[in-house]
Structure 1
Amino acid sequence: MRILGIDPGYAILGYGIIEMKGNHFDVCGYGAVTTEASMSMTDRLKCLYSSLTEIIAEYEPEVASIEELFFNTNTKTAIMVGQARGVAILACANSGMDIAEYTPLQIKQALVGYGRAEKKQVQSMVKTILNLKEIPKPDDTADALAAAICHGHSSNANKRLSKIAKLK
């Protein structure tokens, strides 16, 4: 299964594509889509959409794993990130992909085993799980890969539970 992880943002949108084979993950690619502060919000959203559409066309993921918003004390920023998140969901949906959404707590729990883990712990686990030489930069990229890994672990657990339910 090929998974596209997305850490939504309007200035920096992190993405990571991993291939899951059994319990093993291979990295297909990762990076960040950035927009300039001087751009209008409309142009930023168009840039995010077209860039994500190109990434999806290049890597052909089957499913997207998108981090849910963590409520920010700055309402204006939260709304703007929400718009970027909506554009990311739309790009994935228009590409025919299934979409899974996970809270930051769920992602941390899946990677570190503790939902209140520090960002550095999550980044270190991304590096270890994916057998990378360095922690991916910027942080948004590591967060996107973490979202993809989270979905891989969750989908495997769901498959095992389905098999158990069928045995009963």
Structure 2
Amino acid sequence: MSISKNVQMILNGTIASLTTVIPVKLEVLAPTLTVQPYEQKEISVLIGIVGGIKGRLIIDTSTEVINTVGQAMFGMAVEGEMIESFTGELGNMVAGNLCTVMEKEGLLLDISPPTVMTGQTKLFGFKKAFKLPVRVSSAGMITVLLTIDEVE
């Protein structure tokens, strides 16, 4: 299968996964190709992907968006140390759901445990990356970054 077909499947699967996991109205904007470095502003979660494609899924957002999503999921504010913990768990849920969606499409993926990053960070070390902006109703933006290293 071609890399462009795999990337398109993963982007579509990521959108499906986000809308399944996050119980808040989302508006998905057009994906774009991006170059390094990618600059994170506040908080993100990085999950490695291996299998039919090798790369990373990075979900970059703000504590305000994390709190809004947590409030919608659990009915209570996500604050303090819970912000980082919930960010990692949210990434795990999205990436795990993505693996399930991709398996139905015939693309087998496995994921690494989540790595949560806070503060301003520049990410280097990827060949290609697709940036998928997602507007979270009345809370802000989530930027999903899919970096591609290799295709099996």
TM-score, structure 2 normalization: 0.32
TM-score, structure 1 normalization: 0.30
Q: Which has the higher Rg, Structure 1 or Structure 2?
A: 1
Structure number with the higher helix fraction is 1
Structure number with the higher strand fraction is 2
